[in-house]
Chains A and B, each alone.
Chain A
Amino acid sequence: MQMQTEAPEKEPLSLEQTGVALEGVSRRYRARRREVLALDALDLRVAPREVVAVVGPSGCGKSTLLELVAGLQEPDEGSVRAGAAAGAAARRGSCAYMPQRDLLLPWRDGLANAGLALECQGVPRAEARRRAAPLFERFGLAEFERAYPADLSGGMRQRIAFLRTLLAGRPVLLLDEPFGALDSMTRAAMQQWLAGALAAEPRTVLLVTHDVGEAIFLADRVAIMSPRPGRVVAELEVTLPRPRSRRAVVTDPEFARLEERALAALEGGL
C-alpha cells in the first residue's frame, strides 16, 4: 500500500491535539539470515488525548510498533505519523518514549535523572533540576528528589522514569510495558498512580502491555494484536467511567466482559 502520498490531515502539533496514525505498516527483520516479518499491514489510530493499550502475545511486534512511532525505526511499507510529523526525526520530536526498564543513571539523583530530558533539549543542569522539582511535589515524590537510584525501590524508580518522560514535554507518550519488571503488588499501585498522573497531565498515550487487566484499567481503547506477523485483530472500546479505581473496576461486570472478549481475541489469534 502506498500511504505516504495521502494528504495529511490538519493536525497542529500541540500538547492537546496530536494523535498517532499507523497505516498499512509492515516491518521486516533479518535475523540469522532469515527474514522475519514483524508487523504485517498494521493499521492503528490513537486520537489526541486518547489512551490506547496494545495487548498481544510476546514476540508479536509490540515493541517494534512503539519504536516505529517513536521515530527510532522506519517502516518498510506504510506510513507512521505522530501528529503532523511523518519523518522519523520529526516523530522523535513529538513523542516521548519510556522503555520497560527505568534506565535511570546511577550517578544522578532523582531530580537530575528526571531533568535529563530537559538537558537533552539544551536546558542547563541547574535549570532542569529547578523545573523538575514541581513535578516531584505534584506526584508525591518530593522526598525522593535527592535519592539515588540504588536506594530506590523498583516502583519508585519507574515513577521517576515516568517523570523524565513527562518532562520531555512531548504530546505523545509511548510506554513500553512500563510495569513489566515489577512485582504484582507494586504493579497494581503503579497502575493506579499512572491513571492519576495521566488524569492530571493528559497526553496522547500508546501503551504496550501483555497484561489484559492493566490494559482495560488504563485505556480508553484496547487493541489486540495477533502473533507474529503482528496486526491488530480486534479493538475494544473501554467505557468504564473515569476516574477509575482498581477495586471498583475489577468488580465491574463491564470489566469482566471486556476481559473475556480480549482473551477470546488473543486466543483466536493462536
Chain B
Amino acid sequence: MRRVALAALLLLLAGLAWQGVASLHSVDDLTLASPVETWRALRDDWSLLMDNAWVTLTEVLLGLAIAVVAGLAFATLMHLYRPLRDAAYPLLVASQAIPIVVLAPIFVLAFDYGIGPKLAIVALICFFPITVNVLDGLRSVEPELLKLMRSLGASRLQTLRKVELPSAMPYFFSGLRIAATVSVIGAVFGEWAGADEGLGRLVLLGNTQLQTPRVYAGIVILTLMAVALFALATLAERVACPWNRKETPA
C-alpha cells in the first residue's frame, strides 16, 4: 500500500514538473505539449489513437509470439548440441549489435509494406533476451541434480523435460519481461520505415504536421502498452512458476 502511494506521488510530482516546464514562456508549444494539452489530445483523438494502437499492439504481440517460439526452440537446440552453441552464440550477439533503425528500411524492402517487416523487427529485438535467458536457465541446473537424474536412468530428453526446462522457466520469464518492454520500440521503428497505419506512424506524422499534443498522446499510449506487457509477463510468471515466488518482506 505504501509502495503504491509512493509511486503515485512520484508520478504526480513528475506530472507537475512537466506542466511547470511546459508553461514557461521560453518553451515553445511546438516542442513541448503540457500534460493538460496531452490529455485533451487523448480525449479528442481517442478513436483515432485507439484504431492505430490496435494495429501496433497486433504487431507487438505477434512479433513477441514469434520470438518466444523461436527463442525457446533455438536455446534448447543450442543447449542440447554444444557445437551449435559455440558456433551460434557470436552470431546471436551480433544480431543484437545491428542497429535496428538501419535494418528497418531494408526489412521493408524485403518484406514489402505490410505487417511482415514489423513482425520481423519486433521478433529480432525480442529473440535475443529470450534466447540468452533460456540458455542460461537450461545451464543453471546443478551438476548434482544431473548426476542424480543419470543414476535414476533418465534419458537426455527426460532430463531436459523434467528438470532443465522447468528450471529454465523463471529465466525465460526474465527474458520475456525485457522483450516485452523493447517489443514496442521495435514496432515503432518498423512503422517508421514504412507503414500506413499504427501508433508509430501516427506519431511520426503528427511530428511533421506540428500536432505536438497528438504526438505526446501517442507516446503516452506506447509507454502504457510496454508497461502493461511487462506487468502481464510478471503475472504470467507468477501463475506459471509459483515455486519461484520471492518472499517479499511485509
Residues of A bordering B, CB below 8 Å: 67, 70-72, 92-93, 95-97, 99, 101, 103, 105-107, 116-117, 119-121, 148, 150, 168
Contacts and interface: CB of A to CB of B under 8 A. Distances in A.
A92 B153 CA distance: 7
Given A119-B162, A120-B158, A148-B243, A103 B145 contact: yes
Contacts of A93: 153
B243 A101 contact: no
Contacts of B166: 105, 107
A103 B151 contact: no
B163 interface: yes
Contact of B144 (A96, A101, A168): A101
B152 interface: yes
A108 to B, nearest CB: 9
Interface residues of B, number: 19
B142 interface: yes
Given A93-B153, A105-B163, A148-B243, 10 more contacts: A92-B150, A92-B151, A96-B151, A96-B152, A97-B151, A103-B142, A105-B162, A106-B244, A107-B243, A119-B158
23 contacts: A71-B151, A72-B147, A92-B150, A92-B151, A92-B153, A93-B153, A96-B151, A97-B147, A97-B148, A97-B151, A105-B163, A107-B166, A107-B241, A116-B152, A116-B162, A117-B152, A120-B152, A120-B153, A120-B154, A120-B158, A120-B162, A121-B153, A168-B153
B153 A99 contact: no
Nearest to B155: A120
A121 B155 CA distance: 9
A166 B31 CA distance: 73
B61 interface: no
Interface of B: 142, 144-145, 147-155, 158, 162-163, 166, 241, 243-244
Contacts of B152: 96, 116-117, 120-121, 168
B133 to A, nearest CB: 18
Nearest to A117: B152
Contacts of B145: 103
B144 A99 contact: yes
A121 B162 CA distance: 13
A71 B155 CA distance: 15
| Residue of B145, B152, B155, B244 contacting most chain A CB atoms (<10 Å) | B152
Nearest to A168: B152
A103 B148 contact: yes
Contacts of A121: 152-153
B145 to A, nearest CB: 5
Contact of A120 (B142, B149, B243): B149
A72 B243 contact: no
A101 B145 CA distance: 9
Contacts of A71: 151
Nearest to A106: B243
Nearest to A102: B148
Contacts of B162: 105, 116, 119-120
A199 B166 CA distance: 36
Contacts of A107: 166, 241, 243
B241 A103 contact: no
Nearest to B243: A106
A148 B149 CA distance: 19
A99 B150 CA distance: 12
A148 B244 CA distance: 12
A178 to B, nearest CB: 13
Contacts of B151: 70-72, 92, 95-97
Nearest to A70: B151
A203 B241 CA distance: 37
Contacts of A67: 147
Nearest to B240: A107
Contacts of B158: 119-120
Contacts of A96: 151-152
A260 to B, nearest CB: 35
B122 to A, nearest CB: 30
Contacts of A101: 144
A117 B148 CA distance: 10
B9 to A, nearest CB: 35
When A and B form their complex, which 10 residue pairs have the shortest distance between CB atoms, in order from nearest? A97-B151, A106-B243, A120-B154, A120-B152, A107-B243, A103-B145, A120-B153, A107-B166, A70-B151, A117-B152
B147 A99 contact: yes
B243 A150 contact: yes
A119 B150 CA distance: 13
A146 B145 CA distance: 22
